[in-house]
């Protein structure tokens, strides 16, 4: 996820934080945001009638089942987490640029900003949101594979997994039935 051209981490993905503890580099946090945003756009582009409901096992003392639509849940989680993490001015930029798809010229004109300030604000928002998406508890939005195919909550494909399936033999013809009867009594 780290950029090989990053001046801070030089492609390693980690840099020294407070008290010389390693922490993720800003290039990694921006890439996390971009991966989550790409998945958000993919979920928005899907038709609603294609969405699937899935039955999942909910971990706990009692094993319960829960129905869910992962694409719609991801859209809601992405929007709500973003709204809570950003202040009003940052959310206006996010809304115009990412949700409404305005380019930088239109955003700068609408928000009365210069180009440099706009992109600096954009990069800071991507870093902030990347960290929030990764560190969200109890279930983060990133990594996407854990969100959509959660290893903690197993997805149940069908109820056949719970039962042993025995094939039904076709009925025997009269001659085979008589031969089988002779063998049994015989």
pLDDT at position 81: 92
pLDDT at position 153: 45
Q: For a pLDDT cut of 90, what percent of the chain falls above it?
A: 32
- Tens digit of each residue's pLDDT (9 = 90 or more) over 50-105: 667 777 777 667 767 777 778 888 888 899 999 999 999 999 999 999 999 999 99
Answer with the residue of higher pLDDT: 124 or 136.
Answer: 124
Q: Are 151 and 57 in contact (CB under 8 A)?
A: no
pLDDT at position 143: 81
0.75 exceeded by pTM: no
pLDDT at position 173: 67
Domain spans of the chain?
Answer: 14-155
19-23, 63-67, 126-130: which is most confident: 126-130
User: Cα separation of 72 and 44, whole Å?
Assistant: 9
- Exposed (0-12), middle (13-18) or buried (19+): which is 164, by Cβ within 10 Å? exposed
When the pLDDT of each residue in the chain is averaged and rounded to a whole number, the result is 79
């Amino acid at each position: 996820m780290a950029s090989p051209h990053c001046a801070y981490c030089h492609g390693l993905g980690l840099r020294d934080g407070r008290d010389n503890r390693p922490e993720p580099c800003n290039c990694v946090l921006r890439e996390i945001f971009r991966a989550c945003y790409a998945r958000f756009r993919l979920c928005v582009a899907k038709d609603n009638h294609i969405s699937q409901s899935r039955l999942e096992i909910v971990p706990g003392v009692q094993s319960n089942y829960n129905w869910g639509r992962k694409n719609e849940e991801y859209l809601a989680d992405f929007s709500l987490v973003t709204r809570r993490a950003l202040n009003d001015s940052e959310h206006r930029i996010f809304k115009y640029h990412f949700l409404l798809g305005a380019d930088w010229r239109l955003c700068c004109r609408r928000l009365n900003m210069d180009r440099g300030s706009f992109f600096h604000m954009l990069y800071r928002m991507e870093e902030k949101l990347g960290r929030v998406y990764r560190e969200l508890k109890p279930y983060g939005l990133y990594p996407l594979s854990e969100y959509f195919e959660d290893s903690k909550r197993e997805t149940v494909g069908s109820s056949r997994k719970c039962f042993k399936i025995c094939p039904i033999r076709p009925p025997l013809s009269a001659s085979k039935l008589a031969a089988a009867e002779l063998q049994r009594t015989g």
